[in-house]
Structure 1
Amino acid sequence: MKQNFTVRQGALDGVETFLAVARQRSFRRAAAALGVTPSAVSQAVRALEARLGAALFVRTTRNVGLTEAGQRFFERAAPAFAELIAAGEAARDLGQRPAGLLRLAVPRGVVPLILEPIIGPFCQAYPEIELEIAASDEMVDLAAGGFDAGIRFGQFIAADMVAVRLTAPFPFVVVGSPDYLRARKRPERIADLRDHACLRIRRANGSIAPWSFIDGNKTIEAIVAGPLVAHDYPTLLGAAIQGVGLAQVPAPIAKAPIADGRLRAVLTPFAVTTPGVFLYYSDRRQVLPKLRVFIEHVKLRNAAAPRGGTRKPKQTA
């Protein structure tokens, strides 16, 4: 049978006072050390003894000594209380200056594009912060996973999150290698994709994502087929460069291979635009200095662009 264990309210009341008296062997000297009156010390010790059900001190007119119960309590309470004080100081330290472990959950595809330019300057500016980047394309619960913040496409961030824009809105583009496009007729319409090898991505929930397009004011989700299913966009991009098929990927990660001729964009009139990439976290009031300075670092880096600032994005997916 499961038992319920709770910390009794006031369980630590009087412990600090007891330790002061035990060390000073005097109620008066303990009161002076604590900055309270001797009567307040006496009342706190009496209340602790009543709660424990045992006398902790032997009092005479000249001396104060520990009873056997008091000695046992002192031997175990003193180091425990010292650890509690140290724990409080450690927590207070992290709440007052940028230090400690900063854990970010990010998709693999954004690491080279967004984080790599930030990591070096940030780590140099804040050497007491240990930055951990957990690269995964799965949607994660920040609190359950022990993360300070995450980075995701704006349409996948819950509306109750606080978000900092990292990129401007950008399209998803369909790309293929020159060799692939020479071997097959270049698609001009969305319907032409039925004759092509289309590389697809599996979502975190297990479903295979359709390809999304805009035709005028109409949103179209095309069910495509092909020889490869991956869990991240860089894998799809690499396969498209190798000529395996067409891939629909975020435009920023395709920019370089398009520029150097390894890929060509197709169906660009139908490209759908996403809100962009955001850093997000759960509660503005709970932001520790380590995360606050990271957010400021990101803002400063993007200060020249009109996309900077914080907002709560509307949940669209």
Structure 2
Amino acid sequence: MALETFNDVLAFVHVVREGSFTRASALLGVTPSALSHAVRALETRLGVRLLTRTTRRIATTEAGERLFNRVAPRFQDIDAEVAAVKELRDKPAGTIRVTAAEHAANSVLWPKLSRVMGDYPDINVEITIDYSMSDIVSQRYDAGVRIGDQVAKDMIAVRISPDLRIAVVASPAYFAKRPKPRSPQALADNDCITLRLPNGGLLAWDFEKQGQAVKFRVTGQWVFNNSSSILRAALAGCGLAFIPEDMALEHIAAGALVRVLDDWCKPYPGYHLYYPSRRQSSRALAVVVDALRHRG
């Protein structure tokens, strides 16, 4: 491939990734007009339109989508290899970007990484709180965190926590007004504090007892998109909460929360860190993986 074509393809990839000529030009250190000229030159050379442009947005054509999906991962591999070569020095260095849900970030990533990061001043860790099933490759994360059975088969997965449990809890003040539910079906008569998922739906509460699995759609006056807010509302007496057990144990011990349906809350697979198997792991990522690895 001619160098001119290579540069134009690289320009096209950045425009699609950023969704904007302006943002891509700032990233590459060129003017938006120069970037637009490069993309038009590539379209002319290929004889096919790659982007549709309006005053508000850009979108890939069918040909543009195919080109981006085929070449973007290869440019990412090149970036990863160059970064790995740069790290062939005395200490690991670079920025490691990780996407994780709030509970995983607070209960696993922060406590484990904070203990070792002082030994690696040239490593930067960027953690993005995200409840969606992010595509870490297309969104340029180095790694993500998911429950073990949710990790794609083409990823390297490393367990970073033991198995987890859910706790269903409410405050004594709440139960002063309502009877304690003895079964998941009794939740229909309760105010439940619910979690809004990124897809717009509400989290269903999963239970299991003696091989009987129940998925219950709860309702209530309060809806949040993070577990910390749900815990706060439960402590305030606003209803029943369905939260990771470790978030509730301290408050249960102090008498601020009362646990119910404990025999219906079975362990489920713990958190796993995952990253692309085809990518050469950098020394900085290796440090992060080793620090997070579950050894229990």
State the TM-score, normalized to the length of structure 2.
0.68
User: Does the CA contact (< 8 Å) of 2:113 and 2:292 recur in 1?
Assistant: no
What's the counterpart of residue 14 of structure 2?
A: none
Evaluate the alpha carbon distance shift between residue 158 and residue 95 of structure 1 in structure 2; reply closer, same or farther with a 3 A threshold: farther
What's the counterpart of residue 234 of structure 1?
A: 228
Evaluate the alpha carbon distance shift between residue 266 and residue 227 of structure 1 in structure 2; reply closer, same or farther with a 3 A threshold: same
Matches within 5 A, 1:58-207: 92-94=85-87, 98-207=92-201
What's the counterpart of residue 6 of structure 1?
A: 5
User: Does the CA contact (< 8 Å) of 1:162 and 1:284 recur in 2?
Assistant: no
Evaluate the alpha carbon distance shift between residue 159 and residue 89 of structure 1 in structure 2; reply closer, same or farther with a 3 A threshold: closer
What's the counterpart of residue 30 of structure 1?
A: none
Cα deviation, 1:111-136, whole Å, max 9, x if unaligned, reads: 32112322322221111111111122
User: Does the CA contact (< 8 Å) of 1:176 and 1:243 recur in 2?
Assistant: yes
What's the counterpart of residue 252 of structure 2?
A: 258
TM superposition shift of 1:285: 5.0
What's the counterpart of residue 217 of structure 1?
A: 211
What's the counterpart of residue 25 of structure 1?
A: none
What secondary structure is seen at the aligned counterpart in 2 of 1:173?
A: strand
TM superposition shift of 1:284: 6.2
Whole-angstrom CA distance in 2 between matches of 1:265 and 1:271: 11
Q: Unaligned stretches of 5+ in structure 1?
A: 9-86, 306-317
Whole-angstrom CA distance in 2 between matches of 1:177 and 1:114: 26
User: Does the CA contact (< 8 Å) of 1:99 and 1:290 recur in 2?
Assistant: yes
Whole-angstrom CA distance in 2 between matches of 1:196 and 1:90: 54
Whole-angstrom CA distance in 2 between matches of 1:199 and 1:249: 10
Alignment of 1:244 with 2:238, yes or no, is yes
Partner residue of 2:282 out of 281, 288, 292: 288
State the identity as a percent: 32
2:156 alignment partner AA: V
How many corresponding residue pairs? 220
Give the alignment's Cα RMSD to 1 decimal.
2.3
TM superposition shift of 1:236: 1.2
What secondary structure is seen at the aligned counterpart in 1 of 2:115?
A: helix
Alignment of 1:275 with 2:274, yes or no, is no
TM superposition shift of 1:88: 8.9
TM superposition shift of 1:175: 0.7
TM superposition shift of 1:289: 0.8
Evaluate the alpha carbon distance shift between residue 95 and residue 246 of structure 1 in structure 2; reply closer, same or farther with a 3 A threshold: farther
Whole-angstrom CA distance in 2 between matches of 1:216 and 1:128: 51
What's the counterpart of residue 42 of structure 2?
A: none
User: Does the CA contact (< 8 Å) of 1:155 and 1:274 recur in 2?
Assistant: no
Whole-angstrom CA distance in 1 between matches of 2:94 and 2:254: 41
Q: Highest Rg: 1 or 2? A: 1
State the TM-score, normalized to the length of structure 1.
0.64
2:86 alignment partner AA: D
